[in-house]
Amino acid sequence: MKLIETFVILALLSMLALTGISSYTHYYKNKEFDTAIAQFIHAVDFAKKMSIASNEVVYVCASTTKLECDTSWKGPLFVFTSDNPTHIQNTLQKFSALPADVTLDIQGLKEPTLYFMPDSESANNSTLIFKMGQRTHLFTLSKTGVLNDADSQ
């Protein structure tokens, strides 16, 4: 009888451990997703402030080469000034890359670069869609910063 009780207890403990590991993994992935979005918003906010402070166009893009912007938005984020919006010249700040399982789709963007102008009278809106698994985070961005922010699970 003691052997059966031991196996039942081991089975229950195994189920509890699997549930806990699954919950922790889900929590960690959500935290990673939220951190990636916060980091991106921080880069955008920094670019907006630098544009106003320096009175020039400031760009944000991702680059794995540190020289040219990537269309996939993989690699570290760079905030920079330049005569060519796809060539990183004067780096103002570098931010870490988005996690590998987070994808970023930007609608309304002709080049792989977001830009901010000191004169923000005319806003050029873009829709940014972050995705990781079943979770999607959408926000609308203009030269003046984040306009609309929505999260769906």
The DSSP output letter for 80 is: E
| Higher pLDDT pick, 17 / 119 | 17
Distance CA 89, CA 68 (A): 9
39 to each of 45, 108, 117, how far by Cα in Å?
10, 21, 21
Q: Helix (H, G, I), strand (E, B), or coil: what is residue 118?
A: coil
Least confident window among 84-93, 103-112, 144-153: 144-153
Distance CA 98, CA 107 (A): 18
Indicate the fold that domain 2-152 takes in CATH: minor pseudopilin epsh fold (3.55.40)
- Give the pLDDT band (50/70/90) at residue 121: very low
Q: What is the pLDDT, as a whole number, of residue 133?
A: 72
- At which residue do the structure tokens 């901010």 appear? 116
Check the CA dihedral 119-137-31-62 and report its sign: negative
Q: Helix (H, G, I), strand (E, B), or coil: what is residue 13?
A: helix
Whether the full predicted model's pTM is greater than 0.85, yes or no, is: no
Residue spans per domain, the chain:
2-152
Distance CA 141, CA 37 (A): 13
Average pLDDT over residues 79-96: 85
Distance CA 104, CA 110 (A): 15
DSSP conformation letters of 33-84:
HHHHHHHHHHHHHHHHHHHHHHTS-EEEEE-SSSSB--TT--S-EEEEE-SS
